[in-house]
Amino acid sequence: MTSQHILRINEIFTSIQGEGAHVGRPMHFVRVSGCNLNCVYCDTIENKSGPYFSIDEIIEKVSSPWIYPVFITGGEPLMQEESLFLIIQLLSGNREVHLETNGSLDLNAVAPKAIKSVDIKTPGSGAGGSFLKSNLDFITVRDDIKFVITSKDDFDWAVDITKEWKLLEKTPNLIFQPAWGFIEPASLAEWILPCGLPVRLSIQIHKHIWGPDTKGV
Ligand code: SF4
């Protein structure tokens, strides 16, 4: 194992997927340290540090006692190039692999078999304009595109972008998620229903199961 195959990890744990098209499924979560953005609603921004693990050590931790899908999240996993090797190694072991990314870094090198959850940051996130539009070329019907909505202005912006960029031609998994502490799910539901788009409202069920301080996954 060479040094380029070492990843800085904040935590590895097993839980229920709290959001997106795979909500409710048991998964192993690998939270990679560090992020290049600074969103106003971030609940993992302190996760800049953590121990280093080899790819083999990570795979061992997500292989016992159960074999669940592996969800690689952050922070921003693609900040560390070694995340790409982790994905390849897990896929070569016939594992189901998911990657959550903030959409600002190039997806070109991500193994196509990985299932992606890709954010498009709204103006209200504090990281508006960070999305790399060329990443749309790598979105497939298996992937999620996610908007975290902080206000009605954010919602209207997300609807405009959905139409302008024809996002529903990329994937049916278009996730509109209320930013925790910013808007209520009921408000988002009231905005979605008359908008005519077949988007999905996702409400971070892990925070409802275990409490509002539970970190996003
Ligand atoms: S992209 Fe995610 S991890 Fe990074 S600052 Fe935003 S919410 Fe936090």
Q: Residue 32 sits in a domain of what CATH number?
A: 3.20.20.70
pLDDT score of 1: 43
pLDDT score of 50: 86
Range of the domain at 184: 3-210
Residue 35 CB–ligand 1 contact under 6 Å? yes
Residue tagged 């275990």 (tokens) = 210
In the chain, the amino acid numbered 200 is R
C-alpha 69/C-alpha 90 separation (Å) is 10
Number of domains into which the chain is organized: 1
Rounded distance from Cα 216 to ligand 1 centre (Å):
10
Q: Where are the beta strands (DSSP E) in the chain?
A: 6-16, 26-32, 52-54, 70-73, 97-101, 115-119, 144-149, 174-178, 200-201
Mean of the pLDDT values across residues 189-209?
93
Is residue 217 domain-resident? no
Is residue 120 domain-resident? yes
Could you read off the pLDDT of 53-73 as tens digits, one per residue? 999 999 999 998 889 999 999
Could you read off the pLDDT of 135-190 as tens digits, one per residue? 999 999 999 999 999 999 999 999 999 999 999 999 999 999 999 999 999 999 99
For ligand 1, atom 1, which residue shows the shortest CA distance? 102
Residue 74 CB–ligand 1 contact under 6 Å? yes
**Which mutation among 29, 32, 41, 44 tests ligand 1's pocket best, with the greatest number of atoms within 8 A of CB?**
44
Rounded distance from Cα 154 to ligand 1 centre (Å):
17
Ligand 1 atom nearest to 36, measured from its CA: 4
C-alpha 24/C-alpha 127 separation (Å) is 28
pLDDT-derived band of residue 106, with 50, 70 and 90 as boundaries? very high
pLDDT at 2 over 60: no
Is residue 131 domain-resident? yes
Is residue 215 domain-resident? no
Mean of the pLDDT values across residues 85-100?
98
**What is the reported pTM?**
0.94
Is residue 137 domain-resident? yes
